[in-house]
Amino acid sequence: MSTIQILDKQTLSEKKYRLQLVNFEKPDHEGGFHNLQKEVYYRPDTIAVLPVDEKNQKLLLTKQFRLATFLNGNDSGYLVEACAGIIDENETPEQTVYREAEEETGYKIENLQKIASAYTSPGGVTEFQHLFMAEYTSKNDHPKFGGLKEEGESIELIELSFDEALQKLTSGAFRDMKTIVLLQHFFLNRNR
């Protein structure tokens, strides 16, 4: 039985997703109870996938505008990142990966491999993300942009050679956690 007691929840916003101020009580390591207050943002669960073309030694990433990064010091607001998206109701993480990869990149992926699932920002966000690797076949005439126009998406497709991606990873050029985790997994397990 949990020793965490939820005392009160106050909804602060429900404009896009629910934001609540939660008052709760929890014990410390000595058994003493403390009343605490945290804001919790109830974001849906998500997926992220790193498409890999082993034959042509390429990785497929996206570049898109992220307002939160712009508001927190990213001058352009753009990030290079792995393809990602929200899991729709009645959809499995795997179904979402296939849908999002095609919507964002225009590529069909194959041989999906789940590598991990984790909370994205456990201090205040409920989002749980499923991370995948997949295969794709690079084309010389691939489109420059993807995304759904009706959702305001203008996603630039970024293909990097394995060497370029490794150099950017080790130099700290990537600023997106899911992308860093997927690339680290790829390079750590590549020759196994």
157 CB contacts (<8 Å, ≥6 apart)? 60, 61, 62, 63, 105, 106, 142, 143, 144, 145, 146
Closest CA to 62 of 74, 50, 75: 50
Question: pLDDT at position 31, please?
Answer: 81
Dihedral pair phi/psi, residue 30, rounded to 5°: -100, 0
pLDDT at 82 > cutoff 60: yes
Tell me the pTM.
0.90
Mean pLDDT of 87-96: 96
* pLDDT tens sequence across 2-59: 689 999 999 999 999 999 999 999 988 888 888 999 999 999 999 999 999 999 999 9
pLDDT at 56: 95
The structural architecture, per CATH, of the domain 46-189 is Alpha-Beta Complex (3.90)
Which pLDDT score is estimated for 151?
62
Residue 93: pLDDT above 60?
yes
Predicted confidence (pLDDT) per residue in 123-179, tens digit: 999 999 999 999 999 876 666 656 556 665 678 999 999 999 999 999 999 999 999
Structure tokens at 77: 């607001």
The whole-number pLDDT of residue 1 equals 53
> What is the structure's pLDDT at 30?
85
